[in-house]
Structure 1
Amino acid sequence: MGDTAKRPNFLVIVADDLGFSDISPYGGEIKTPTLAKLAKEGIRMTNFHTASACSPTRSMLFSGTDNHIAGLGQMAEFMRSFGDYFKDKPGYEGYLNWRVAALSEILQDSGYHTIMSGKWHLGMTKELAPCSRGFDKSFSLLPGAGNHYNYEPQLDDGEFQAPCLNTNGFWMEGNEHLDRSTDLPKDFYSTRSFTDKMIGFLKDRTEDESQKPFFAYLPYTAPHWPLQAPREIAEKYAGMYDDGPDALTQKRLRRLKDLGLVDEDVEHASPVGVLGKSWEDMSPEDRKISARKMEVFAAMVELLDANIGRVIDHLESTGELDNTFVLFMSDNGAEGAALEALPLMGGARMMGDIITKYYNNSLDNIGERDSFVWYGARWACAATAPSRGFKGWVTEGGIRCPCVIRYPSFQANQGAITNSFTTVMDILPTILELAGVPHPGSQFRGREVVTPRGQSWVSHLDSGDLKNTSVHKEDVHIHGWELFGQRAIREGKWKAVWIAKPRGKEEWELFDIEADPSELNDLAESKQDVLCRLIQHWEQYYAETGMVQTPTFGSRGKM
């Protein structure tokens, strides 16, 4: 095992539904000094890709392989809408399955102290919870969302809920279930409370635990809806968004170009999704409500940064920071489709009725514990610009996310930017290489497991030459995405996309992502040879991952 004291620690931080430009290192106006400092001392990625929704991304992070293999071929919430259609389909268990060796399990078996605080979303029972997947200590919310103030009055009346409106029985500490009404702090606020617990785990290590390196996983529920934040923080942003989302798009795109994160000649994609009225056509009152939602969102992101800063300050105070590989990422693009997603989360009517009955979404109350709002597609498109789409889309807006890494051993690249294509599946092999821990191969803890599809970043990030080195073979790498009936396949700079109507054309589109990162110019007609080759790659990806065709979304888009 070697000298474990010299092995690096790991801190992996995941934001929930954070857009590409929501933080200041990526052009955002929201105050995020901690992440700005991490970026200045570390490396920013501009070409980091996830799945287009949260639990599939998390399954890829922990397995190093595709979500269709790891158990989240579709989100569990989505699969419920189709009865038994996905039942007993390998890769569609709705949780992190046993065909993969989880990163936390591998590190636990290799002498790491493993701790977690935050959102799990990879299994809803004790047998599937963090305590059963390699974490020594954990404080976890098992579902994908919840009220940030732990305010759920509808439960007192026995209203039936989808998990996003019912966290009863889904809070755990270690292997014990918690009662949310008595076991959570009275002043609970998700971002602060998850941070308090993580710092407590770090502070309260036993002598034996302190001798081990640690793997700390800190997945926040912010800034996922409902948009809620203390009024005094939201007030800092009063008036900042009064010009609307299109103006915000232009400001952020200009800043992205100034930072060298986007080429000067790049254009932004038009907004998509359920857009409603344009800013100009909205009434003054509706504009105030919309801007207020964005102000609260900004406050949530500022608080996220401040609490990450608390963890970083703690590690610095203990002298552990410079031996810690810190990674910050978002799990997918900004959330712009809450209205469209309601049928998948328990029914639009059910949720709408509950929100109307129990929550006060008046202008003056937006952001409070008893409000329940989201900001909509136009603001989400501003956050993902110049890319097209947002969470749930396999266009770049749904799958290209911010990723910041700080690790002093990569000193040669301090403050650098890498444009190399990377994916969330690469995190597991990267951490294992830095830890000096081999992947167990095809056998682990008495079960057969798959090997990772991701590639380590270490040689690239340690090269001192980020422009002329890469993680994947840039001209020939092949990666696929599929979720909610949307599908995409990428080979080098070429990307083919198939999206059902009314969102898409219901036929394959082709884009040169290097020249056209906004996916504006469909080259399917002029580059038919390239498109045919990519469709062949798609068929191979479909077969390799054991994908199951999603019902009601038409054919698989064969040419």
Structure 2
Amino acid sequence: MKFNKLALITSLLVSTQLFAQKPNVVIILADDLGYSDLGSFGSEIKTPNIDSLAHQGTRFTNYHTPSTCSPTRSELMSGTDHHQAGLGAMAETMREDAAKFDLTPRPQFLGKPGYEGYLNTRSMTLPQVLKDNGYKTLMAGKWHLGYTPETNPAKRGFDFSYALLNGADSHFKTLPNGIERKTIYTENGQKVELPDNFYSTDFFTQKVIEYIGNDKKPSQPFFAYVALTAPHWPLQVPTNYLNIYKGHYDQGYDAIKQKRLEKMLKLKLINSTKTANVVSKELAPMNLDTWNNLTAEQKKIEARKMEIYAAQIKNMDDNVGKLIKHLKNIKQYDNTLFIFMSDNGAEGFYRPLPGYDNSYNNLGKTKSYELIGPRWTEVSSAPFSLWKGTAAEGGVSAPAIVKLPNSTTAKISNSFVNVKDVFPTVLEVTQSSLKPDYQDPSKFNQLSGKSWISYLKGKTNSVYGENFIYADELHGDAYVRNKKWKLTRTITKNLSGPDWKLYDLENDRTETTDLSKKHPEIVKQLQQEYVKYTQRVGVQDFAE
């Protein structure tokens, strides 16, 4: 009996030591952060803490996501295509009121396989797999993958969670008189009321730090999912951030974009300062004109909106700094895999709400509700075209940074990668395995991304090789691509017209020159590949 007890104690000690040696995982997901909005990606906005991860890790300049929030989150959590994971379309767009999203309602799609409107039960989840492998799993922030108790983060693998279940909310608890909060927050699966001093980024970061704890020798490694709601609209910041960037954007869109392009070129993120064409006034949301054609009052308001947006990003970076400091204080920073990324491109459409005070002097405060609009988004997307919700590079390309545990090697990568790769990458770093049921394709969707580790360690020249095919579709906007060519259409708001266009990504990732008439054979080939993709993942095409 004594021997059995001794063996048990020894086994537990060994197990604890192995857990402690496994790397922690921190995934920080920004919301609607544009491609060039970080200092390490060319921005004038000061982001030293996020940049510190970039300077000790890899910046992916060719990282791709679906073009909106919940589809990206479903791919991140499941490691498979969003059409298979339950978010073939955003749940909001499959309701009768989808017109407010500039879409024709498609309620007939809701409930079809892959269009459940939530992260479906055929999807294994990253937190559950890590939990099965001995990890403490925690999250704070935006979930956007289901509203019911069964689809709550608490039921999908998270030991600890403080979640906004909806896709967006005010960043403060305080709302204007007469406006009722309709969003839902839960902690560990139970509905909760926001504290009076709530500001989203500050609160979510502090909650993650609280869940991680202060143990310098934890019995378990942890997985922390920091799903921030910044810099997603509305433009709101704490009082001490309101004037940090006062006057910085009075030069206007073109001047700021040019400075970003020159910095990106200097950083070797791009090969030239060539940039995408701007949208015409006639097609731009709210018919917003270019800077030189605005009135003095319009310029004043436009500059102020970008000041607030920049301050949101500055606040986000400050909070990332708090998290990094905490991990260093508890001796867990070095042994942590960090992945920082945005869920899609910046938001260029308007999503106004009535009842808010958007006067100049109130912008950025608790009772305002504004967005940066299309022209500043063209700056955020630089050098790419368009924005979130489109199949253009400005919608599906996002900044991404990965810092490996116990590594400070800096690298800039032009290799094509995508959000589905995160799941297998984390599995390889943590040496986690899948239960037999998860490996059964009759029961669960199988992982469709590729691990980055061999590439990051210099064992391969790319992640996907020379002959890959990649495709995506969301709300009718679609593309299919290989290493060189991209065939794409953006039907939303007729920004690019209904026709498929062909771009040479090696020479024109800004998508300025349509080569479809010059290369009909490539168009035909890629169209065939796109059909194969839609059949494989079960696309219900909004364009039909």
**What is residue 134 of structure 2 aligned with on the other side?**
111
Aligned to 1:146: 169
Determine if the alignment matches structure 1 residue 417 to structure 2 residue 432.
Answer: no
Tell whether the 8 Å contact from 1:15 to 1:330 is kept in structure 2 after alignment.
yes
Q: Distance in 2 between matches of 1:281 and 1:320?
A: 53
Instruction: Compute the displacement of 1:205 (Å).
Output: 6.8
Supply the distance in 2 between the matched residues of 1:457 and 1:444 (Cα, whole angstroms).
20
Give, in whole Å, the separation in 2 of the partners of 1:542 and 1:110. 34
1:485 aligned onto 2:476: yes
- Which range moves more in the overlay, 538-547 or 523-532? 523-532
Q: Are 1:38 and 2:53 counterparts?
A: yes
Aligned to 1:166: 182
Q: CA deviation at 1:59?
A: 0.4
Aligned-partner residue type, residue 212 of structure 2: L
Q: 1:150 to 1:250 in 2, by over 3 A?
A: same
Counterpart in 2 of 1:134?
157
CA deviation digits over 1:461-492, x for unaligned, max 9?
Answer: 111x7xx711101x211111111211100112
CA contact (8 A) 1:46 1:418 kept: yes
> Shift of the alpha carbon at 1:157?
6.2
* Uncovered stretches (5+) of structure 1, i.e. residues with no partner: 159-164, 343-350
Which of 440, 455, 459 is the aligned partner of 1:460? 455
1:185 equivalenced with 2:191 (yes/no) = no
Task: Quote the sequence identity (%).
Answer: 41
CA distance in 1, matches of 2:132, 2:269: 39
Change (3 A) 1:84 1:399: closer
Q: 1:187 to 1:549 in 2, by over 3 A?
A: same
| Alignment match, 1:303 | 315
How does 1:400-549 map onto structure 2 within 5 Å? 400-411=397-408, 414-440=409-435, 443=438, 448-463=443-458, 469-473=461-465, 475-500=466-491, 502-549=494-541
CA distance in 1, matches of 2:26, 2:462: 24
Aligned to 1:323: 335
Residue 247 (structure 2) pairs with residue 252 (structure 1): no
**In angstroms, what is the RMSD of aligned CA positions?**
2.0
Shift in Å at residue 512 of structure 1? 1.0
Cα distance change on mapping 1:238 and 1:153 into 2, 3 Å: closer
**Secondary structure at 2:25 match in 1:** strand
Per mean C-alpha deviation after superposition, the further-off stretch among 247-256 and 536-545 is 247-256
Change (3 A) 1:410 1:539: farther
Report the CA distance shift for 1:369/1:395 in structure 2 as closer, same or farther (over 3 A): same
Tell me the residue number matched to 1:203: 213
Paired residues of 1:410 and 1:461 also in contact (CA < 8 A)? no
C-alpha contact (below 8 Å) 2:143/2:166 kept by paired residues? yes
Deviations 1:472-524 (A, max 9, x none): 01x21111111121110011211100233722231211111111110111111
Letter of the 1:519 counterpart:
E
1:37 is displaced (CA, Å) by 1.1
2:77 maps to a residue whose letter is F
Task: Give the aligned residue type for 2:78.
Answer: S
1:39 deviation in Å? 1.0
2:75 is paired with a residue whose SS is helix
Query: Take 2:449 and 2:479, find their aligned partners in 1: how far apart are those partners?
Result: 18
Deviation at 1:444, TM superposition (A): 7.2
Once residues 473 and 114 of structure 2 are traced to their aligned partners in structure 1, the CA distance between those partners, rounded to angstroms, is 13
1:217 corresponds to 2:222: no
String of CA shifts for 1:385-408, please: whole Å, max 9, x gaps.
111111011111001110111124
- Mapped to 1, the partners of 2:386 and 2:441 lie a distance apart of 43
Secondary structure of the residue aligned to 1:251 is helix
TM normalised by structure 1 equals 0.89
Counterpart amino acid of residue 483 in structure 1: L
Q: Which amino acid aligns with 1:171?
A: Y
Distance 1:524 1:326 in 2: 40
Q: Is the 1:112–1:213 Cα contact (8 Å) retained in structure 2?
A: yes
Aligned to 1:14: 29
Q: Which residue of 2 is the match for residue 386 of structure 1?
A: 383
> In 2, are the aligned partners of 1:61 and 1:428 still within 8 Å (CA)?
yes
The Cα offsets for residues 126-149 of structure 1, whole Å up to 9 and x where unpaired, read as 211110100000111100111001
Describe the shift of the 1:307–1:202 C-alpha distance in structure 2 as closer, same or farther (beyond 3 A): same
2:94 corresponds in structure 1 to 79
| Counterpart for residue 240 of structure 1 | 248
SS in 2 for 1:57: helix
Contact 2:93 2:106 (8 Å CA) reproduced: no
Q: Does the C-alpha gap of structure 1 residues 445 and 499 become closer, same or farther in structure 2, counting only changes over 3 Å?
A: closer
Q: Following TM superposition, by how much is the alpha carbon of 1:409 offset from its aligned partner in structure 2, in angstroms?
A: 4.3
**What residue identity is the alignment partner of 2:463?**
V
Deviation at 1:268, TM superposition (A): 3.2
CA distance in 2, matches of 1:443, 1:249: 46
Q: Residues of 1 paired with 2:396 and 2:480: CA distance?
A: 12
Hey, what does 2:6 align to over in structure 1?
Answer: none
Whether the 8 Å CA contact 1:266–1:517 is kept in 2: the answer is no
CA spacing shift, 1:278–1:174, aligned 2, 3 Å: same
TM-score computed with the length of structure 2 as normaliser: 0.91
Q: How many residues align?
A: 516
Query: How far, CA to CA, are the matches of 1:327 and 1:74 in structure 2?
Result: 25
Aligned mates of 1:220, 1:133 — CA distance in 2? 19
- The Cα of 1:277 is off from its aligned counterpart by 2.1
Cα distance in 1, alignment partners of residues 268 and 214 from structure 2: 42
CA apart distance, 1:269: 3.1
Aligned ranges for residues 269-418 of structure 1 at < 5 Å? 269-271=277-279, 273-274=284-285, 275-339=287-351, 351=353, 355=354, 357=355, 359-411=356-408, 414-418=409-413
| Deviation by residue 1:237-266 (Cα, 9 ceiling, x = unmatched) | 111111211222111111111110000263
Distance in 1, matches of 2:411 and 2:388, equals: 27
Q: Could you say if the C-alpha distance between residues 442 and 529 of structure 1 is closer, same or farther in structure 2, counting changes exceeding 3 Å? A: farther
Q: Distance in 2 between matches of 1:92 and 1:205?
A: 42
Q: Which moved more, 1:143-152 or 1:277-286?
A: 277-286
Change (3 A) 1:306 1:25: same
Unaligned runs of 5+ in 2: 1-14, 99-104
Residue 10 of structure 1 aligns to a residue whose secondary structure is strand
Q: Give, in angstroms, the shift of residue 335 of structure 1.
A: 0.6
Q: Deviations over 1:66-90 (max 9, x none)?
A: 1111111001111113363113310
Q: Structure 1 residue 384: deviation in Å? A: 0.6
Counterpart of 2:55 in 1: which secondary structure? Answer: helix
Paired residue for 1:69, among 77, 84, 97? 84
Checking the alignment, whether the CA contact within 8 Å between 2:33 and 2:346 is kept in structure 1 is yes
Contact 1:442 1:451 in 2 (8 A): no
